Each structure stands twice: as structure tokens, then as C-alpha cells.
Chains A and B, each alone.
Chain A
Amino acid sequence: MTSARFLVFALACGLPSGSYKSQRYSLLAQITSGNVRDLELKWVFQSQSLDKFEATPLVADGVMYLTQPPNDVVALDARTGRPFWIYEYRPSPRAATCCGRVNRGVGLLDDRVFLSTIDAHLLALDARTGRLLWNVEVADFQKGYSLTHAPLVVKDKVIVGTAGGEFGIRGFLVAYDAKTGKEAWRFYTIPGPGEPGHETWSGDAWKQGGGSIWVTGSYDPDTNLTYWGVGNPGPDWNGDPRPGDNLYSDCVIALDADTGKLQWHYQFTPHDEWDWDAVQVPVLVDAEWGGRPRKLMLWGNRNAFFYVLDRTTGKFLSGKPFAKQTWAAGFDESGRPIKVPGTAPSSEGSLVFPGVQGATNWYSPSYSPRTGLFYLSTWQGYSSVFRKFAVEYEPGKRYMGGAPKSVISALRREPFKSWGEESGYGAVRAIDPQTGEWKWQFKMDDVTDGGILTTATDLLFTGGREGYFYALDARDGRLLWKKYLGGQVAAGPMTYQVDGKQHVAIAVGHSLFVFGLRE
């Protein structure tokens, strides 16, 4: 963060979630509820790959930096879409990912672009030419490690975490010097012998305990803490090989950004047997709580609860369900969930709400300081039957102790609807953090993997599996504009200004669409 240029764009669109607070809230205000109907297509970037397109682009100085799945970086003219350069990276064809050869975007610092790859490398490129500056092996992909999220740049470091929670990894978060690629610190999400938290594991289970990281974290310059959501413990769906709470799986962890030392953690789902990764973007909000200003963290979790935490201390302030759930009866005084007996996976199968994909997932939520509402994409009334079976760990192979079954398919499906609302539906819900109650919802027939963007003009942009891209009124959920784009939205929208004109970008299907106002 050595140049003013970076600071300027950090406020607008140079960070994966819009800002270090990860609110996905933009101050750009040209597009309003009054003119949003005049949005028209400005240009399209067509991916050369048929892999799932989950990236949110970044824009700095009129240049858009985007990943083309799996691991190419393209620098485009943000005004016309014409490419300046393309960096092609060919990950090993043997790289293992659970759910597609995906990448969710790049990191940016000064004149450097950072790319994480599915074969677990981190690369720095020259933002002007696309030339490779350094390339480090973060982990051994042959042991099931991969990298899929946009790296987070904090000061002079670039931070990235390892995916592979379905492959028996021992996850970690690692920071590199942005200039040299030299490792600065490393934090294992599964503590080893002698480290605090190790007592929540039994025997050698920690060695393949999972704890993946696959969405970008947040950073608070005031506390100098960087916050990250941690994925499921391994094996999935069968906790027998790993008695205990299995820290720091399904936690939010708060680390000192300079040293990587753990300051606090909160575990959303202790001893998780449903695969409810806490891979949601930590949303940082400064607001009144209990009559005084407080530094809060808002979190809509895959386990169907909406949480408010104190982000200085990690103290649990509230937890309320935002979707149908049957696994928890509430919380004890410390904020630990009270599990409902009989909801753990069983050999004959246990019906649990929410289902395996959760009541939300990695889809970026948004918070608008104007409305004071937290917005998330949810799967409502959705369940799975969780069955478990025995599993042996084999390096690099899938390490999953069960097979959940749902009517609604987990990742993607053909464009025909084959179920009724009783099996679940998708929705954007607007939650009032003060009460944990939702104020409005925008219902979709199909479920949604779309991220959310809000703006200073009270617009909310999102999409869903059906292929629509929407602009809603952030105050009441009213539909203001829609466009059918013919593919699944599995990415977050973003907005940027170039030549004094506001644009909105969204990846849909295998293309990135960019809209602006008709002239």
C-alpha cells in the first residue's frame, strides 16, 4: 500500500470485496432507481474456457484485471473490453479441486497482480505487461491442496489460504512479501501438537483435519487484524475419526496481519458433520450495539444462522436463524450452539435443514451503511439426507465419509426445473443486524449462487442460477430491472467508473457482461 493510486482504488474497486471491510457497497451513484431501466450492454468478455466462471474483476486506472478460468489473467480496457494482455497459466491437469477448476479473482498492489492457482502456486505479475515476476509453490497439489480465492493484499504482504477440505489437507493461511515472494508468516488452521486447540482433536486426525480457506478474508487497519473464514473438518459427513470440536474448522479466525499470530476465534459449527464451511466473507461494520458504537462483524453462515460478533475480541453478541434449520436449539451463554440430538449423519440417513450446500455459502453478501441492512443469497427450505460411511485417508484422494442427498443439485444443473417449492427455493434476504430478523426477501424459483452488490443509490445487484441479472431496490426488495443472460450466475457483481461513467460487471455462464447507462 505504498502508492496513493492503490488507496484511491481500494475505496472503489481495487479489492476483491470492494474494500477491506468487505461490504460490497459502492459509493458510485450515477445509476439510480430512476435510470436503472436505461442500463444497456456495453461489452462482453467471452471466456475461452468452459470451466465455471466465479471471478469478480478488479478495476484500477481504467484497466480491468480478471481471471479466465481456471488460471489465466486478462487485462482489459474497462471501457471497451479490448485486451491489453493475457497471461496464460497452465495448471497441472492432475490438480484436484472438489467442485470445479475455479478461480475467484486476483489481488492488486501498485503495479503487481497476484494470482493463486488450482495447483497451489501463487504468482506475481507485472500489471503493465503481464510478465511473471515470481512464482512460489504454496503447497503440494498432489496432496490435495489447491488455491481458488483472490489473494488479499495487506500493506506489503499478500495473503492466501489453501483449499482442499475434501482431500484430507491440513489447511493454512500464508503471507508472502509482495515484492519478493518470500514467506513472511504461516498459520495452520488445524493446530499441531503443543499448540492451543490441538486438544480438540484425537490421535492423528489433525494431520488430515481439513480447515480449508477458499474465500478472501477482510482486514481492519484499526485493530491490524485480518479475518478469515475456515472450511469444514475432514473427513466430511463422518465425525467418528475425529472426536472433539475440531478447531479451527468452521471458525472465523482473527490474526495479527504482521505476524500471523491468532488473536481470537469463534467456532460457528463445532465438530461439524454436515460440511458447513465457514467460508463466508467477513463483513466489518461500525455501528451502534446495545446503545454504544461498536466494531462489529456480521456473518450469515452456511449453517443457517446470522451472527453478530465483536471483531476486536471475538465476543458472540447474537445468533438468529435466517432460514429453516433443524440442527440447533439455540446457543448457550458463551455463544456455543446447542445441537439437536439425532441430526448427525447416520448410516440409514438423517434429514437435516439446511442441506449440504447450506442456507448460504461462499456467495458474497453485502452491507449498506445507508439502509443498515445485511443482504445475502440464501437457499430457503432446503434439506439433505445425510448418510455416513467409513473412510480411510489416502494422500491426494477424496476424504469423505458420507453421501448427502438433496432434491436440488449442489453445484449446477440443466436449465429445466424439476422440483417444487417444497424442496427449496432461492432468495435474497435483507437482515436487520440489530434484531437478526429479515425485513424483506426477493424470491427466485431456483436457488442462487450469486453474490450481492449494493450502491449509494440504494440499488442492489445480484443474479441466480436461472440466468437473470437483477437490480433491486435495497430498501424494500422491489424489482427495478432484470436481464436474462442465459447462464448461471456464480460470481459477485461489481461496479466501477471509467471516463466518468459508472459500469456494472457480472460473470454469467462463460462470459463477463458489462452494463452502463444508455447515452
Chain B
Amino acid sequence: MRDLLRVTTLLVAAAAVCAQQAFNTSQDIEAGGRLFRAHCAACHGADGAAVRGTDLGRGQFHRGSSDQDLFRTISNGIPGTTMPPISLPGNQAWQIIAFVRSLGEWKAPAGATGDPRRGREIFDGKAGCLTCHRVDDKGGWAGPDLSEVGALRSWVQLESSVLRPAGTVRPQHWQVRAVARDGRTISGLRLNEDTHSLQLLDSQGRLVSLLKNDVQSYEIVKNSTMPSYEGKLTRQEADELVSYLVTLKGRNP
């Protein structure tokens, strides 16, 4: 029995280490952010600094600072304090840890200042972002909906996306271009895909499901079609644009 326990413990530890290594992608950080806001932010604050003596984004913890320490603290709580144990399925604790590790990037870097109202004018006007992106009930459907982007991405990430859009984009932002049997082109954001079908939000904002056998052809577009704003916006304008984006946190989360 004891051996079995030991083996189990080892397996759990091994699984934990593997999990820790595997669950720190940008998607994990995003999912971790959602979980953090659902389970942690009420006490720790959105920036992780609300509990006296801790500042999660700056590595100040009450008890242990390694990833394993944080995993234990989340899973077991800290007896005698208001930190409760939280039972989370799958890899969600690791995703929260990945998010906590990214907290430092969420604040504006030193020297970067911007007026969100001015940033919104640039967003709606000069930069033409609404052509492809959506905020609340305005804008197009070609690019990702940005209504909650300030809750999902840090300042550093947003600035990088504006000035140096990645060559490839995250799988949840891949586009589909399909040609129907009648020659019609259908394009949109890929929401889901399996062996036989594709689900997308088309450029008109409609939910469309395609059977792969029913179309002449289709392709998954993994490259970003987002233009770089490096050189198109001044340094100050870019800061202002980002300062607006970080205010987009959806409604009543």
C-alpha cells in the first residue's frame, strides 16, 4: 500500500512537472487570466497586488515562489489565512501560474503614457482599426473582436501586436477561405474544425458551418493580414492607441 502511495505520489509529481512545462503558451496565459479573474482577483486584485505583503506580479509571495510552491498554495490554500484551497480541473492551476508569471508585463512600461480618449480617436479614425476589428457593437468581422482585449492581453503584448504583428497568428484567430460548389467564396474566422467540417464566423458576422466534402476547396490562413503600424503612427500615437486598448475589458465581467 505504501509503495502504491509512493508510486502514485511520483506519478503525480511527474505529471505536475510535465504539466508545468507544457502549460505556459500564450493561450494558457490567456485562459489563466480568465481563471485568475474568476477565482483570485476578488482578493488579490486584477494586478495581483491587493493582498498586503504580496505582489504576485513582482514575485512577492507569502509562501514559496517556485511554480511547484504556487501549485501547492493554490491546491491546498494556506491554513489559518483567508487563502482557501481551490479545486481546479485539468491544468487550470498551471494556467493560473502561467498568467501570474506574466503579470509583470501588464503594466505600462516606464515612460509610456497615453490618453485613452485620444487613443480611441486614433483607433476609430486615422488607424482604421474598425475596418477589421470589432469593439462592442461597432466594426468589422475580419479580425479578432477586441471588446475584451484589455482583459486578455498585456500592454507589452498589445504594443507588439500593433507595431510588429506576428507573421503567424494564434490558432483561434486563423481564417478560413473556402470555395463553395457554386463558386461562391466564403471566408471568416475559424471557430472550430474537425475531420469532416469547419465552423466559422464569416465576414458578415454570420455563423457558418461547412462540410469539407461539400466545398470545392478550402484553405486555412495562418498568416496575419494585420498591417504593421510601425512608422504609420508616431511613438506617442502608438502609446495612446495601446492605452485605449488596455481599457477594453468587456462589460460586467
Interface residues of A (CB under 8 A from B): 61-63, 75, 77, 79-80, 82-85, 90, 111, 128-129, 131-136
User: In the docked arrangement, what's the CA distance between A61 and B148, Å?
Assistant: 26
User: In the docked arrangement, what's the CA distance between A62 and B208, Å?
Assistant: 8
**A82/B209 in contact, CB under 8 A:** yes
**B250/A132 in contact, CB under 8 A:** yes
Interface flags for B218-253 (1: CB within 8 Å of A; 0: not) read 000000000000000000000000000000001111
Number of interface residues of B (CB under 8 A): 20
Choose from B38, B207, B211 the contact partner of A75 (Cβ within 8 Å): B207
Taking the nearest CB of chain A, how far is it from the CB of B251, in angstroms?
A: 5
Contacts of B211 in A (CB 8 A): 80
**A82/B145 in contact, CB under 8 A:** no
Contacts of B206 in A (CB 8 A): 61, 128
Contacts of A79 in B (CB 8 A): 209
User: In the docked arrangement, what's the CA distance between A421 and B47, Å?
Assistant: 64
Taking the nearest CB of chain B, how far is it from the CB of A146, in angstroms?
A: 19
B197 at the interface (CB under 8 A from A): yes
Interchain residue pairs with CB less than 8 A apart (24): A61-B206, A61-B207, A77-B197, A77-B207, A77-B209, A79-B209, A80-B197, A82-B192, A82-B197, A82-B209, A83-B192, A84-B199, A111-B205, A128-B201, A128-B207, A129-B145, A131-B147, A131-B148, A131-B250, A132-B250, A134-B251, A134-B252, A135-B252, A136-B252
**A129/B201 in contact, CB under 8 A:** yes
> Which B residues, 164 to 198, have Cβ-Cβ distances below 8 Å to chain A?
191-192, 194, 196-197
> Which B residues, 38 to 88, have Cβ-Cβ distances below 8 Å to chain A?
38
Q: A79-B209, A128-B206, A129-B201 are in contact. List 18 more A-B contacts (CB 8 A).
A: A61-B207, A62-B209, A75-B207, A77-B199, A77-B207, A77-B209, A80-B197, A82-B192, A82-B194, A82-B199, A83-B199, A84-B191, A84-B192, A84-B201, A129-B145, A132-B251, A132-B253, A135-B253
Taking the nearest CB of chain A, how far is it from the CB of B73, in angstroms?
A: 21
**A132/B252 in contact, CB under 8 A:** yes
- Nearest residue (CB) in A for B196 is A80
**A85/B191 in contact, CB under 8 A:** yes
9 A-B pairs with the lowest CB-CB distances in the bound complex, closest first: A77-B209, A135-B252, A84-B207, A84-B199, A63-B207, A84-B191, A128-B205, A134-B251, A82-B199
**B38/A80 in contact, CB under 8 A:** no
Contacts of B147 in A (CB 8 A): 131
Interface residues of B (CB under 8 A from A): 38, 145, 147-148, 191-192, 194, 196-197, 199, 201, 205-207, 209, 211, 250-253
Contacts of A129 in B (CB 8 A): 145, 201
Contacts of A134 in B (CB 8 A): 251-252
- The interface centre, meaning the residue of B148, B207, B211 with most chain A CB atoms within 10 A of its CB, is B207
Taking the nearest CB of chain B, how far is it from the CB of A381, in angstroms?
A: 45
- Nearest residue (CB) in A for B201 is A128
Contacts of A111 in B (CB 8 A): 205
**A90/B38 in contact, CB under 8 A:** yes
Choose from B145, B199, B207, B209 the contact partner of A131 (Cβ within 8 Å): B145
- Nearest residue (CB) in A for B252 is A135
- The interface centre, meaning the residue of B145, B201, B252, B253 with most chain A CB atoms within 10 A of its CB, is B252
User: In the docked arrangement, what's the CA distance between A128 and B199, Å?
Assistant: 12
- Nearest residue (CB) in B for A136 is B252
- Nearest residue (CB) in B for A123 is B252
Taking the nearest CB of chain A, how far is it from the CB of B10, in angstroms?
A: 30
Contacts of B192 in A (CB 8 A): 82-84
Taking the nearest CB of chain A, how far is it from the CB of B37, in angstroms?
A: 12
User: In the docked arrangement, what's the CA distance between A75 and B192, Å?
Assistant: 12
Contacts of B201 in A (CB 8 A): 84, 128-129
- Nearest residue (CB) in B for A129 is B145
User: In the docked arrangement, what's the CA distance between A79 and B211, Å?
Assistant: 10
User: In the docked arrangement, what's the CA distance between A136 and B252, Å?
Assistant: 8
User: In the docked arrangement, what's the CA distance between A79 and B196, Å?
Assistant: 13
Taking the nearest CB of chain B, how far is it from the CB of A66, in angstroms?
A: 14
Taking the nearest CB of chain A, how far is it from the CB of B138, in angstroms?
A: 13
User: In the docked arrangement, what's the CA distance between A135 and B147, Å?
Assistant: 15
- The interface centre, meaning the residue of B191, B209, B211, B253 with most chain A CB atoms within 10 A of its CB, is B209
**A80/B209 in contact, CB under 8 A:** yes
Contacts of A62 in B (CB 8 A): 207, 209
Taking the nearest CB of chain B, how far is it from the CB of A115, in angstroms?
A: 13
Contacts of A85 in B (CB 8 A): 191
Taking the nearest CB of chain B, how far is it from the CB of A494, in angstroms?
A: 19
Taking the nearest CB of chain A, how far is it from the CB of B145, in angstroms?
A: 6
- Nearest residue (CB) in A for B145 is A129
Taking the nearest CB of chain B, how far is it from the CB of A48, in angstroms?
A: 10
User: In the docked arrangement, what's the CA distance between A62 and B197, Å?
Assistant: 15
Contacts of B199 in A (CB 8 A): 77, 82-84
Taking the nearest CB of chain A, how far is it from the CB of B51, in angstroms?
A: 22
User: In the docked arrangement, what's the CA distance between A406 and B252, Å?
Assistant: 45
User: In the docked arrangement, what's the CA distance between A136 and B205, Å?
Assistant: 26
Contacts of B252 in A (CB 8 A): 132, 134-136
User: In the docked arrangement, what's the CA distance between A396 and B211, Å?
Assistant: 50
- Nearest residue (CB) in A for B191 is A84
**B207/A133 in contact, CB under 8 A:** no
- Nearest residue (CB) in A for B193 is A82
Taking the nearest CB of chain A, how far is it from the CB of B36, in angstroms?
A: 14
Taking the nearest CB of chain B, how far is it from the CB of A97, in angstroms?
A: 21
User: In the docked arrangement, what's the CA distance between A63 and B206, Å?
Assistant: 10
- The interface centre, meaning the residue of B38, B145, B147, B251 with most chain A CB atoms within 10 A of its CB, is B251
User: In the docked arrangement, what's the CA distance between A4 and B126, Å?
Assistant: 36
User: In the docked arrangement, what's the CA distance between A80 and B198, Å?
Assistant: 10
Contacts of A75 in B (CB 8 A): 207
Choose from A82, A83, A133 the contact partner of B251 (Cβ within 8 Å): A133
Taking the nearest CB of chain B, how far is it from the CB of A298, in angstroms?
A: 37
Taking the nearest CB of chain B, how far is it from the CB of A30, in angstroms?
A: 21
Taking the nearest CB of chain B, how far is it from the CB of A176, in angstroms?
A: 13
- The interface centre, meaning the residue of A62, A79, A84, A135 with most chain B CB atoms within 10 A of its CB, is A84
User: In the docked arrangement, what's the CA distance between A61 and B201, Å?
Assistant: 13
User: In the docked arrangement, what's the CA distance between A111 and B206, Å?
Assistant: 10
Contacts of B250 in A (CB 8 A): 131-132
Taking the nearest CB of chain A, how far is it from the CB of B132, in angstroms?
A: 15
